[in-house]
Chains A and B, each alone.
Chain A
Amino acid sequence: MASEGEISLLVVVVDVNPIWWGQHAQSEPEFTLSKCLDAVMVMGNAHMAMTRTNQLAVIAAHCQDSHFLYPSKRLKGNDDTSSSRDGKYELLSVTNNLIAEEIRDIMSKTELTGNSTDTLLAGSLAKALCCILLKTVVFLLAQEIKSRILVIKAADDCALQYMNFMNVIFAAQKQNILIDACVLDSDSGLLQQACDITGGLYLKIPQKVALAQYLLWVFLPDSEQRSLLVLPPPAHVDYRAACFCHRTLIEIGYVCSVCLSIFCNFSPICTTCETAFKIQLPQMVKPKKKKPKLPA
Chain B
Amino acid sequence: MHFVSFTMASLSEEVLLVVKKVRQKKQDGTLYLMAERIAWGPEGKDRFTVSHSYSDIRCQKISPDGKAKVQLQLVLHTGESTTFHFANESTSRKDWEAAKELLQQLLPKFKKKANKELEEKNKMLQEDPVLFQLYKDLVVSQVISAEEFWANRLGGINNGESAACENKQEVGISGAFLADIRPQTDGCNGLRYNLTADIIESIFRTYPAVKQKYKENVPHNLTEKEFWTRFFQSHYFHRDRISTGTQDIFSECARQDEKGLKSLVTQGVKNPMVDLLSLEDKTLDEGYGISSALPSTSHASRTVKESSNFAIIKRFNHHSAMVLAAGSRKRDVPADQASETSSTDGNSRDSDFFQPPLKKVKLQEAIEYEDLQQENRPKTVALNLKKSDRYAHGPVPLQSQQYTTSQDIINSVNYIKHEMSNYKPNLTQVLSSAAASSAIAALSPGGVLMQQVAQQAINQMVPTEIQAELKHLYVAAGELLRHFWTCFPVNTAFLEEKVTKMKSNLERFQITKLRPFQEKIQRQYLSTNLTGHLECMLQAAYSKFHIWQTRRMMRKT
Contact = CB atoms under 8 A, between A and B. Distances in A.
Interface of A: 18-23, 25-26, 32-35, 37-39, 41-42, 45, 96, 99-100, 103-104, 107-108, 110, 112, 114, 117, 156-157, 159-160, 162-163, 166, 189-190, 203, 205-207, 209-210, 212-214, 217-218, 230-233, 239-242, 244, 247-249, 258-259, 261, 271-274, 295-296
B398 interface: yes
Centre residue among A45, A233, A261 by max chain B CB count within 10 A: A233
Contact of B397 (A21, A41, A156, A248): A248
Given A156-B399, A230-B445, A233-B450, A18 B412 contact: yes
Contact of A37 (B413, B425, B456, B540): B425
Contacts of A247: 393, 396-398
Contact of A166 (B394, B442, B544): B394
Contact of A242 (B395, B436, B456, B543): B395
B416 A21 contact: yes
Contacts of A212: 430-431, 436
B397 A22 contact: no
Nearest to A214: B439
Contacts of A108: 417, 420-421
A22 B412 contact: yes
B406 interface: yes
14 contacts: A18-B417, A26-B415, A34-B423, A37-B423, A100-B425, A104-B421, A117-B404, A159-B393, A218-B443, A239-B395, A248-B397, A272-B385, A272-B390, A296-B543
A239 B397 CA distance: 12
B409 interface: yes
A212 to B, nearest CB: 5
A15 to B, nearest CB: 13
A210 B436 contact: yes
Interface in B295-312: none
A233 B455 CA distance: 10
B390 A207 contact: no
A13 B374 CA distance: 52
Contact of A209 (B417, B419, B425, B432): B432
A23 B419 CA distance: 12
Interface in B68-92: none
A183 B391 CA distance: 27
A104 B386 contact: no
Interface in B398-413: 398-399, 402, 404, 406, 408-413
B132 interface: no
A274 B386 contact: yes
B431 A25 contact: no
Nearest to B447: A232
B386 A159 contact: no
B449 interface: yes
B426 interface: yes
A242 B435 contact: no
B430 A23 contact: no
Contact of B395 (A156, A217, A249, A259): A249
Contacts of B140: none
Nearest to A20: B412
Interface residues of B, number: 59
Contact of A35 (B386, B430, B443): B430
A157 B396 contact: yes
A190 B443 contact: no
Contact of B443 (A163, A189, A217, A271): A217
B508 to A, nearest CB: 21
Interface string B494-507: 00000000000000
Contacts of B430: 35, 38-39, 42, 212
B316 interface: no
Query: By DSSP majority rule, is chain B's interface helix, strand, loop, or mixed?
Result: helix
B189 interface: no
Given A38-B425, A249-B395, A233 B456 contact: yes
Given A114-B409, A206-B449, A210-B438, 12 more contacts: A22-B413, A26-B412, A42-B427, A108-B420, A189-B396, A212-B431, A213-B436, A213-B440, A218-B443, A233-B450, A259-B383, A296-B540
Contact of A41 (B390, B416, B427, B456): B427
B158 interface: no
B424 interface: yes
B387 interface: yes
Contacts of B419: 25, 32-34
Centre residue among A22, A108, A244, A295 by max chain B CB count within 10 A: A22
A10 B285 CA distance: 85
Interface of B: 383-388, 390-399, 402, 404, 406, 408-417, 419-421, 423-427, 429-432, 435-436, 438-440, 442-443, 445, 448-450, 452-453, 456, 485, 540, 543-544
B321 to A, nearest CB: 62
B238 to A, nearest CB: 73
Contacts of A241: 395
A21 B388 CA distance: 35
A13 to B, nearest CB: 18
Given A214-B443, A261-B391, A295-B544, A19 B431 contact: no
A34 B435 contact: no
Contacts of A20: 412
Nearest to B449: A232
A170 to B, nearest CB: 13
A107 B421 contact: yes
A190 B391 CA distance: 16
A280 to B, nearest CB: 16
B511 to A, nearest CB: 22
B423 A213 contact: no
A41 B425 contact: yes
B394 to A, nearest CB: 4
Contacts of B443: 214, 217-218, 231-232
A114 B197 CA distance: 99
B435 A209 contact: yes
B510 to A, nearest CB: 17
B409 A296 contact: no
The 4 A-B residue pairs with the shortest CB-CB distance, nearest first, are A22-B412, A210-B439, A107-B420, A162-B394
A164 B404 CA distance: 26
Contact of A107 (B397, B417, B448): B417
B435 A210 contact: yes
Contacts of B416: 18, 21-22, 25, 33, 107, 110
A261 B394 CA distance: 11
B425 A162 contact: no
A108 B416 CA distance: 9
A38 B438 CA distance: 19
A242 B438 contact: no
Contacts of A274: 384, 386
A35 B435 CA distance: 13
Contacts of A242: 393-397
Contacts of B402: 156
Contact of B423 (A100, A117, A203): A100
B387 A25 contact: no
A112 B449 CA distance: 38
A236 to B, nearest CB: 9
B390 A244 contact: yes
A206 B387 CA distance: 41
Contacts of B452: 233
B221 to A, nearest CB: 82
